Each structure stands twice: as C-alpha cells, then as structure tokens.
Amino acid sequence: MASRSSGPSGCWARLPQLLIIIIVATLLASGLFVALPLLRGRPDLPRGTSLILVEGNIVRVAADPAKEVFLVPLGGVGGATGEQTVVQVATGTPAVLPTAAATATTQPLPTAPPPTITPIPQASCIAFTNYTVASGDTLFSISRKFVTSIPLMARHGISSTSLIPAAVIRVPVGDPACCSGGWRPYVVEDGDTWFGIAAQCGITTDALLQGNGLASGAPLFMASVICIP
C-alpha cells in the first residue's frame, strides 16, 4: 500500500489558509481597538490642558491620566479665597456644563429728539405796512426794503404769485413798539445765532439775551422778531 507524502510540499499547500487566518485576525483586533473608546462611552481626550469655549466663556480643560476631566478657570485654580474651583466630569457620563451668567447689559438705543416746532412770532411784535408792488419786485428785494424776511412774509400769505405789478400787499414787519432803550426790531434769518447777532452788534451774548428779557440758553427761531441795539 502506498504511503501519503508529508514532506515540505504539504506545508506549502496549507500556507494560503494560514495567511488568510492571520489577516482576518489582524483586522478584527484593529477594529476592536478602534471601537473600545466608543463602547466605553467617553471621548478620547488628549493628555495635558487645552482651551475651549463654553457658553461664551473660555475655560481650560485639564485631563488626568485616568481620563477624568476638570474645568479650571483661566484665572487659576485657586479663587480669591484660596478655594479650588473645579468641575469634575465623571468618566463615561455625558457632561452637562453650567450655564454662564449674563454679564453684559442691554443698552437702550438712543431715540432722536422730537423735531423743533418753529413758533409764529407774537402778534404784538409784528406790524403790517401796505406796499404797492412795482415791476421787477422780488421777495428778496422787498425783504431788503423792510424789516422783514421771506419766511415771515410766507407765514402771512405772501409769495411770488402775490407780486403782481400795481397790486397792494400787506407786508409783515418787525414792530418798533416791541423795543425800548434805543433798540430796534430785527427778524431772525436762517442760520442766525445769538452769538453771531451779538458779535455783529458789538455786544456780548448775555447782554443781547438780557435786552430781550430772555435767560441764557434760550432758543432762537427763524422768522422770530427780536430787539437789537
């Protein structure tokens, strides 16, 4: 009876099977190594310390060799009283971080001041004079002939359509009866200020205000009638 050969040719025949077993075992071991941190239910944190942003605050995260996590304030471990202020997160348990208290206060938006209403000058400071319109008259030329202004005339119904040659119009003017002590009426123009008018008259702003019976800081309105020296 012939005997079966058990020489080197039989070992070479079984070599592919051994390689397949080794490769499969290696893959299983690698997959188990990668899946272990996930199966243990905790993140694989690096050793040492790192900075993270928690609820708008920057904190330092320190991991010890046992993978326990501590949240340490940036000012240091010890507070003003020397007590340690740390928050320990147990391994394998999801951490619920404390909510930081709001430190910024909401500032109300500034509101625009209400518009200034220009009052109509008092009737006692305005007089009316009749004027016959001549050919070539304009509102500006009439305002130069009398103590008045274009806005003041407009408030009393005089416009460029009123300037019909030979027509008689009633021009509002500053009433001299409003002023005393040698002072005369003046109709405030656009851009006038108490300081500017006082400088043109050669007096101080306080003296001009006092001459009109007004206190410091009184408003000045266009087309109003004041008294100047």
Question: Is the pLDDT confidence value at 66 over 70?
Answer: no
pLDDT attached to residue 75? 52
Question: Is the pLDDT confidence value at 210 over 70?
Answer: yes
pLDDT attached to residue 145? 94
pLDDT attached to residue 148? 94
pLDDT attached to residue 87? 42
Question: Is the pLDDT confidence value at 185 over 80?
Answer: yes
pLDDT in tens, 74-118: 554 444 444 444 444 444 444 444 544 545 555 655 554 444 333
CA distance 20 to 158: 110
Residue 11's pLDDT band (cuts 50, 70, 90) = low
What is the mean pLDDT of the segment spanning 40-63?
62
- Mapping DSSP to helix (H, G, I), strand (E, B) and coil, where does residue 178 land? helix
User: What's the CA angle centered on 198, arms 204 and 141, to 5 degrees?
Assistant: 170
What contacts 180, CB < 8 A, 6 or more positions away? 227
pLDDT attached to residue 154? 94
- Tokens matching residue 208: 């001009």
Domains of the chain (ranges, CATH numbers): 48-89 (no CATH), 123-228 (3.10.350.10)
Specify the pTM: 0.46
pLDDT attached to residue 139? 95
Strands 168-174 and 184-187 come out as unpaired
CA distance 203 to 221: 20
Residue 176's pLDDT band (cuts 50, 70, 90) = very high
The residues that bridge with 168 in the sheet, in sequence order, are 132
